[in-house]
Amino acid sequence: MAGVSVALAGTGAFLGAGLSAGLAAVAGIALRSAGVVFPGGSILTAAGLGATLGAVLTPMTALSLLRQVALGKALLFTVLGMAAGVAAGELATGQTLMAAAAGFGAFVIVALLLRLTSGRRSKTPAKPRDE
């Protein structure tokens, strides 16, 4: 179990850093080219926050909350949500704590939405009703 947790933490850190930095860069370029003025932030800070949050949140979510959701789907959507939250928080405020809170909030919201929309899958087919 420890090996799985370490692997998930590494995967979450890698994906979180890459996606957070990538989304922050793309959004920053798009906003600047559109002439939108914003406080801005650092791509490196977004990458660091994404890596930290991804490493901590991914194993906890994958091993507990999302037992009903396929692991690939859970990783993809939760880390994408977290990265979007971190990038948006970093670009909008330029404050590390606000960006971390936005990333955490987005991660939790996506995880809950995945869990609620997955439904419980039964191994036995439903019996037809007698009418």
Whether 68 and 44 have beta carbons less than 8 Å apart is answered as no
Query: What is residue 17's predicted lDDT score, i.e. its pLDDT?
Result: 93
Number of Cβ atoms within 10 Å of the Cβ of 109: 14
pTM for the complete prediction? 0.81
- Per-10-residue mean pLDDT of the chain, 131 residues long, equals 85 92 90 82 89 90 74 86 92 90 93 82 60 58
Write the DSSP symbol of residue 61.
Answer: I
CA Rg value for the chain = 18
